[in-house]
Structure 1
Amino acid sequence: MAIDLDQLRAFVAVAEARGLTPAAETLHLSLPAISRRLTALETELGVALLTRTTRRVALTQTGREFLPRARRLLDEFEESLLGIRETAAQRRGLVTIACIPTAAYYFLPATLAAFARRFPAVRVRAMDLSADGVTEAVATGAAEFGIGMEGATLPEVTFRTLRRDPFVLACRQDHPFARRRTLRWADLAGERLVGVSRRSGNRLILDRALLPRGIEPVWHYEAEHLSTSLGLVEAGLGLAVVPRLALPREPHPVLVARPLTDPAVDRATGLLLRRGAEPGPAARALIALLEKGMRDG
């Protein structure tokens, strides 16, 4: 049968508008053009779908039975086109993400490697920023999505947790604390502690958890980045309190991590999305890989 989509659209529009004139206006067609399409459709089907008079248009019994089928055919075709377009969009283009440094260094590379194998033509721009910088980039649209910390959000940004990381004590393998299984915050009294500056989201999380309990660590050194803190520990200048994610998975030649309790403090790392803005197909594919990678450990 030589039935085309334009004929189906004309029939559905006339049936829904209950008239040729409003249907023609909806489809931006002339009355003769829409009439020709209806006639061609009825000719191909060999039945009358509409009864037309000078004043009104009504569906025949066959027309009433055919209308839901015509709608379904159009919907399925449009969904198929959207699927093809989305697949094509996933395979090319640019994805811009904002990410806190620990996530950018420790678990983003593995995800990007998997993404590159599936979508080799998609370029990725990764902006490694502070927690506040990630939130700002997502809020302003500079990044399609972000990987940041809970609490560092704005009203126009939503947060979805990917993983929770406990804060641990990082020390050298030759330090007495390395022989302990766990440590309490009280055990750190008198030690030279390496912390991050008050501008850091990590510092904010620690202050909120510790100060109400009367625990006020004395930070002998303060750094802007966790990597700098760990470098000072490697040099033997002190002990650092960092999220577990900041330490490599493989055994470090110099450093070890020990759990901290009384209280145990953790940090939520997750996705930041701009409220009301849907990431593009390629970005959604990358987000799905991130979520799977975090779920599978």
Structure 2
Amino acid sequence: MPIDLDQLRTFVAVAEAESLTRATEVLHLSLPAVSRRLSALEEELGVALLARSTRRVALTQMGREFLPRARRLLDELEESLLGIRETAARRRGLVTIACIPTAAYYFLPATLADFAARFPAVRVRVMDLSADGVVDAVATGAVEFGIGMEGAGHPDVEFRALRRDPFVLACRRDHRLAGREALGWADLAGEVLVGVSRRSGNRLILDRALLPRGIQPNWHYEAEHLSTSLGLVEAGLGVAVVPRLALPRGPHPVLVARTLTDPVIERATGVALRRGASPAPAARALLDLLEGRMAE
């Protein structure tokens, strides 16, 4: 029996829900119908895609490898149904991208608004992931391209640096340090610092630059994402060190950014592309716009 699209949709729904019961609600199918589709798909492929238990299901290794391919097949079908002629003309389609949270919070929305004004019929799906997650999504073909940072490498992924972002101090406008345009790291002594977790690529860049100089910031708060760090700063809980890209380009009603020196620390930000792959026309249009805005 050949694989059909209903089997692929069912597999993706179950994988995302991690539950047969929740997947039945999404698909509006009975539990036996969902189980039959999954069994038929596994039989046709000759591999087990899911490990089932009484309470939940989990992807097997083969299931994890097959999931991005199944998503891509469904996306390509959906894009074709939207009208292949208009898609080729960059007028319609679906674009899936991955983006590090730093860029997703302030930079990306403004860029997507510009893109929507030019191509209103193109839909965009954004996966906000860690730097390593962006690279993995690009490598497996789960996304057309990614917005990430230098350092997270993969042999199947090409990173194209577009800008160098300095790390700056983010504080409230009413904070005592807001009155100074430039600060040294020594000026942060005694301040309540908000940082990102040790698992973050940004933290790794900071540690590599500061520790050899004997500078060991006392991170009072640690967050997984920079958007959370900025939220703590807005609430008046401390000051944060973040890449400039994480802050809005224009004036913010609460936050200001101040230059950090001694040392100046930068990171490279850019786009990640799968080697040998050509983005679809709609994705190419978005990529061109992003590259132009990031290079500004």
TM-score range (shorter-chain normalised) is: 0.5 to 0.7
Deviations 1:104-127 (A, max 9, x none): 222222322332233333221111
Give matches, 1:88-103, under 5 Å: 88=88, 90-103=90-103
Give matches, 1:9-158, under 5 Å: 88=88, 90-158=90-158
Per-residue deviation, 1:89: 5.1
Q: Aligned letter for 1:123?
A: R
Q: Runs of 5+ in structure 1 lacking a partner?
A: 1-83
Q: Greater CA radius of gyration, 1 or 2?
A: 1
Indicate the residue corresponding to 1:240 in structure 2.
240
Q: Runs of 5+ in structure 2 lacking a partner?
A: 1-83
TM value normalised by structure 1: 0.67
Give the distance between the partners of 1:210 and 1:290, measured in 2 at CA: 31
Deviations 1:74-118 (A, max 9, x none): xxxxxxxxxx96973522321110011221222222322332233
Q: Aligned letter for 2:179?
A: R
Per-residue deviation, 1:219: 0.6
Give the distance between the partners of 1:289 and 1:190, measured in 2 at CA: 43
Report SS of the residue matched to 2:291: helix
Q: Aligned letter for 2:120?
A: P
Indicate the residue corresponding to 1:216 in structure 2.
216
Give the distance between the partners of 1:254 and 1:87, measured in 2 at CA: 42
Q: Aligned letter for 2:157?
A: V
Indicate the residue corresponding to 2:260 in structure 1.
260
Report SS of the residue matched to 1:186: helix
Go from structure 1 to structure 2 and tell me whether the alpha carbon gap of 1:231 and 1:118 turns closer, same or farther (over 3 Å shift). closer
Fraction of identical pairs, as percent: 82
Runs ≥4 residues deviating over 3 A:
84-87
Per-residue deviation, 1:205: 1.1
1:86/1:281 contact within 8 Å kept: no
Q: How many residues align?
A: 213
Q: Aligned letter for 2:215?
A: I
Q: Aligned letter for 1:243?
A: P
Give the distance between the partners of 1:255 and 1:273, measured in 2 at CA: 33
Indicate the residue corresponding to 2:249 in structure 1.
249
Go from structure 1 to structure 2 and tell me whether the alpha carbon gap of 1:163 and 1:86 turns closer, same or farther (over 3 Å shift). farther
Give the distance between the partners of 1:119 and 1:239, measured in 2 at CA: 39
Per-residue deviation, 1:176: 1.9
